[in-house]
Chains A and B, each alone.
Chain A
Amino acid sequence: MFVPCAKENDVIFEGYSLILPAISIGNVGQLAIDLLIYNLDLKQVGYLYDSSILPLVGNDPFTSPKIQQGNLVTSAEVYKCDEKKLVVVQLRAPLAKGCRQIFCDRIVRWIKECRIKQTVLLTSCIASERLDSQIQSGPFRYLLSPETQHLNEIFQKNFNWRCLEERNGEERSESDVFLPGGGVSKRFYKTCCRENIPLVTLLVFCAEGDNIPDAMILLYFVNIWLQMKVNKHDAASDKLQMNKGENRLSSF
């Protein structure tokens, strides 16, 4: 599934945190990943090449439209930051129909093979599906797999974050969660629970539209936790910078 950029490159991810998006409502996870790549100036180290991801090509979305270098962008790329021990996956195309579980299984197998420390899934859910109690608070939520339950205390006490509320009314198993508009998020969460993968799912409730502010909110919370200082121009600042030629480059 993972193919390194350079032929002789032996890329090591052991002990790194993996951040990846779900293709979800408003493309919020993907937009947040683009912000992360741009602000941390991440270096591309490879591709995810798999039949479960639909093909897509375009031009480099991180340069100004007026200065096109002709750097090709593909549907699934892998970036790395050795300093912060981060592996970042960007997905720009939807998953092939009928291949969602296969995608989840293959990603999880890759996570295991690489000995990734923890996985962070950035996603979004439909705001109109919120409960009354959810409307009364902010749009950000988190969801932990059994392997990351120890983070509950930090998230709630230190950061005052809200865990995704459980839905009442139906009998649900531990790994059954309600993530409308979250695309593959639910399936990925269930797969990680089953395979004992440490997964932190971070999400915002949103509606379709200009979702860059939602992506900024999501990345703001990621930064609170992982302390990435995501501003390449001012390391002391926590402010996110938008790419001047900010372009969506996702297939939908």
Chain B
Amino acid sequence: MWEVVYPTSRAVELGAEDDEEEKCMFQSNFTTPIVRLSHELQSDGKTVSCKLLVLAFERISTTFIEAHFLNNESQIVGLVSSGNMKEECTITNSLRQTASSDKTCFMHSADGSHEVLFCQSKIDVSPEACHNWANEVLSCIKADKILILSTLPASVCSLNCDGDSDRMFALKTESWKTKIDCKFLPSPNIVANLPAAALTYCQIFHIPAVMYVGVTATDSVVDSSVIEIFNGLLECEPLKDLPKRSETETAEFLKSMKIICPHLESNMYM
């Protein structure tokens, strides 16, 4: 018995080329994010200047930042909303991502000087909206240096990992001159979506920026050991000189954290 199998393509959606899908202008306006910053931060009413901006994307990276750099005294100094009223986040949300509805993007200042800002992005941004997100956020916050933390699922990577030391890789812009203590992300691995949009912005507009990519088996914080992937950064520029939580505080935070695994929430088994 023969079966007719239609061709598939990794490059294009076959048959979709003729589809009329001219909703982009509408979609583009709809998904332009709104950046709100506290008044004490803004020098000219529109933009903010800082020495270092740390952009952490998704659960593992944001939890790492929370565990080591944010505490009860950390101020929320701004937020980025999706621009979609239905998903508008409020500044009263919890800082911990313990519920699926708690998808937020807050700016934190670890100390009162506002020289170092942490952007904790736990929101889902569609690939089509990432360009606008990076453009909007990074044109509002003028940072001397930018550090981006992101993760890649091991299942989509092509790597020859020798051990734990090969679980974190770097990408940098041309303007980043500080030494990097880990390997560069080997080709042909790529990073897409928000982290890519942010690093692209930095590359094009000559902002010194580095992205650390943790290669993980899961995208959820299933236990506290997952965030240890970034621990090496605590001793490296530019994070090593920042005020950190004590080891006890970090351990307490991780212990108190409500560990959730979204994949398990949606299945039928106990």
Query: Which A positions have Cβ atoms within 8 angstroms of B?
Result: 3, 7, 23-27, 30, 47, 49-61, 65, 68-72, 74-75, 92-94, 96-102, 126, 128, 179-187, 207-208, 245, 247-252
Query: Which B positions have Cβ atoms within 8 angstroms of A?
Result: 7-12, 14-15, 17-18, 21-25, 27-28, 127-128, 130-132, 134-135, 170-174, 180, 183-197, 199-200, 203-206, 211
Cα A170 to Cα B29 with chains together (Å): 38
A59-B186, A59-B187, A99-B24 are known contacts. Are A74 and B203 too (CB-CB below 8 A)?
Answer: yes
A-B contact pairs, 14 of them (CB 8 A): A25-B11, A47-B203, A51-B135, A57-B195, A58-B191, A65-B187, A70-B171, A98-B27, A99-B24, A99-B28, A101-B24, A181-B12, A181-B14, A208-B10
A57 contacts B171, CB within 8 Å?
yes
Cα A50 to Cα B132 with chains together (Å): 9
A119 to B: closest C-beta gap in Å: 19
A46 to B: closest C-beta gap in Å: 9
From A50, A185, A247, residue with most partner B Cβ within 10 Å = A247
B24 contacts A52, CB within 8 Å?
yes
Closest to B133 in A: A55
B200 contacts A49, CB within 8 Å?
yes
Cα A49 to Cα B190 with chains together (Å): 18
B199 contacts A186, CB within 8 Å?
no
Residues of A within 8 A of B128 (CB): 51, 54, 96-99
A96 contacts B127, CB within 8 Å?
yes
Residues of A within 8 A of B172 (CB): 70, 72
Instruction: Tell me if A's interface is mostly helix, strand, loop or mixed.
Output: loop
B28 contacts A72, CB within 8 Å?
no
A76 to B: closest C-beta gap in Å: 9
Residues of B within 8 A of A68 (CB): 183-184, 186-187
A160 to B: closest C-beta gap in Å: 29
A68-B184, A70-B184, A245-B187 are known contacts. Are A56 and B14 too (CB-CB below 8 A)?
Answer: no
A183 contacts B11, CB within 8 Å?
yes
Cα A54 to Cα B193 with chains together (Å): 7
- Pick from A61, A71, A99, A126: contact of B188, CB below 8 A: A61
Closest to B26 in A: A98
From B11, B17, B190, residue with most partner A Cβ within 10 Å = B11
Cα A248 to Cα B205 with chains together (Å): 26
Cα A33 to Cα B203 with chains together (Å): 22
Residues of A within 8 A of B22 (CB): 98, 101
- Pick from B14, B25, B173: contact of A102, CB below 8 A: B25
Cα A7 to Cα B175 with chains together (Å): 12
B186 contacts A93, CB within 8 Å?
no
- Pick from B11, B194, B197: contact of A252, CB below 8 A: B11
Since A57-B199, A98-B21 are in contact, a sample of 13 more A-B pairs with Cβ atoms closer than 8 Å, ordered by chain A residue number, is A51-B28, A51-B128, A54-B192, A55-B130, A57-B195, A59-B185, A75-B196, A96-B24, A101-B22, A180-B15, A182-B12, A183-B12, A186-B17
- Pick from B7, B23, B173, B206: contact of A208, CB below 8 A: B7
Residues of B within 8 A of A126 (CB): 7, 9, 14
B186 contacts A98, CB within 8 Å?
no
A208 contacts B204, CB within 8 Å?
no
B133 to A: closest C-beta gap in Å: 10
- Pick from A25, A49, A57, A70: contact of B9, CB below 8 A: A25
Closest to A65 in B: B186
- Pick from B17, B130, B199, B205: contact of A72, CB below 8 A: B199
A25-B11, A98-B24, A183-B17 are known contacts. Are A55 and B184 too (CB-CB below 8 A)?
Answer: no
Closest to A49 in B: B204
B190 contacts A3, CB within 8 Å?
no
Closest to A74 in B: B200
- Pick from B8, B131, B187, B193: contact of A249, CB below 8 A: B187
B12 contacts A59, CB within 8 Å?
no
Cα A175 to Cα B5 with chains together (Å): 30
A3 to B: closest C-beta gap in Å: 5
- Pick from A52, A182, A245: contact of B17, CB below 8 A: A182
